[in-house]
Amino acid sequence: MFVQKVVSESKDTSEVTLYDITIENSSKKSGSLDESENESDNETDNESDNESNEDSEVDENIKFESDDVFTSERTFDFISDMQIGWNLGNALDANNNGVSSETAWGNPKITQTLLTKVKEAGFQVVRIPITWLGHIGNAPNYTIEESFLDRVSEVVGYAKNAGLKAIINIHHDGADSAHWLNIKDAATNSTINTAVKNQLYSMWTQIAKKFPNSEDYLIFETMNEIHDGGWGWGTNRNDGGKQYNTLNEWNKICVDAIRNTGAKNFISIPGYVTDPTLTMDYLVLPNDELNKLFVTVHFYEPDAFTLKAIVPKWGKTVPESELKYDNPYEEGTLILSGEEAIDSMYKKLNTKYIRNGIPVLVSECGATHQAGYENYRRYYTEYMVKSAHNNGLVPILWDNGSSGSGRESSGLFDRRNGEIYSHAKTIVEAAIKAATTEYSEIELP
């Protein structure tokens, strides 16, 4: 989850347009980097990089039909029943000591009952974060452990059986550049970068082949929050774009790997640390001959309320004195950003992507539970989801299974039986209503 450091935005009150043009091919780029800049400016010899890139070119033996290529109209038709989503967090992404395990962080094993209850509550898509650490063989094949891949397939099957679309990814393998998906070192060392790209290519080839003919219900998200350990405030700020370029290369490798299996699934592409601003500024969408790409971002602003539980109240009805908190970065105090910051950011994403025919998934968002202040969490969730809906974005609420109160206690569903936690019922109801119903007045806390 990205920790927002910027705490205020100006409100743009101009009219919102969802999308008004059709993109017939995916050569259109988003971001400020030219295509010619999409290679890392590594100081070491790039011959091994060139070899890896050649291996990832589109396989001419894979032939897609003209009907497989999507226009923006068909794309938005696909997501028309993806108005609101839910994260199955801290489950298949949980890990300890470099090995992922479904129950490592205290949640029980995933069941069909849970996914069925999520669907019955009104959610339409489930994001299933997956950490693959400890289940990957050595180079050059990087073979994924069969039993683990089978379990992933089983859980995806639960979602399909429940009538949910599903999203799977490579999740904490890239956490803080602490494991093999290490952008900090890959951005400055071509040998490491080549190894990472080869592994990404191999893994996404295996994952895509595991799910043949799944394009109607399964979305592939290439990676999660890729960063160097600084959460967007590290070396990426002064390395001349090396990390941004490297991530663009990685996304291209993933798309090529998936398409070279013949898979027709939509592919969701993250920018740096999934931060909306860094994504808009530096993400270069790779070419996709099927034109079936989404952009994915995360939104937890203001994190002093949504994640850290430093401030229990939020919104325009709260006196400014109750919205102040100590600045964690330097002396002084900050004031929680409010409704305008949400509207401003979502409007920018609409302008950058939706108006250009590219869907945006806000694939993590929401607020932690703070006991006694549930109505502020309800109001924030409803306002945030309604703003996403108004701007044509797909919000996917973060749920880590926690039933507690305080920092990162984001649970909505009891994983043991699939029931909504009593303190979260108004949150779920408000989110579903905001995403699926047209109305303008939101009840204040």
Buried b (16+ CB within 10 A) or exposed e, 96-119: eeeebbbebbebeebeeebbbbbb
The dihedral region occupied by 413, where left means phi > 0, alpha psi between -120 and 50, and beta the remainder, is: beta
- Which is nearest to 398 in space by CA: 157, 84, 146, 120? 84
Residue 270 pairs in a beta bridge with 296
- The alpha helices in 211-308, defined as continuous H runs, are 242-259, 276-282, 303-306
Q: Is 296 helix (H, G, I), strand (E, B) or coil?
A: strand
- Active site residue: 9, 221, 225, 374, which one? 225
Name the nearest CA neighbour of 133 among 155, 148, 111, 151.
148
- Cβ atoms 355, 17 nearer than 8 A: yes
Helix, strand or coil, per DSSP, at residue 128 = strand
Nearest to 1 by CA among 379, 409, 436: 409
Q: How far is CA 220 from CA 156, 169, 190, in A?
A: 12, 6, 26
Q: How far apart are CA 386 and CA 203, in angstroms?
A: 37
**How far apart, in Å, are the Cα atoms of 329 and each of 4, 189, 325, 334, 354?**
12, 31, 12, 10, 34
Q: How far apart are CA 248 and CA 350, in angstroms?
A: 21
Round the CA-based radius of gyration of the chain to a whole number and report it: 21
8 A C-beta contact, residue 299 and residue 367: no
Partner residues linked to 413 by β-bridges: 420
Q: Please confirm, yes or no, whether 249 is among the known catalytic residues.
A: no
- Which residue type does 239 have? D
Q: List the catalytic residue out of 221, 249, 301, 364.
A: 364
| Angle, in degrees to the nearest 10, between helices 146-162 and 112-121 | 30
The phi-psi region of residue 429 (left if phi > 0; otherwise alpha if psi is between -120 and 50; otherwise beta) is alpha
d(CA 390, CA 296): 17
Verify whether residue 225 is a known catalytic residue. yes
Q: Read off the amino acid at residue 36.
A: S
Q: What element of type H or E holds 66? A: none
Contact 387, 11 (CB under 8 A): no
CA distance linking residue 167 with residue 47, whole number of Å? 35
- Token pair listed for 12: 């743009």
Q: Active-site residue numbers?
A: 225, 364
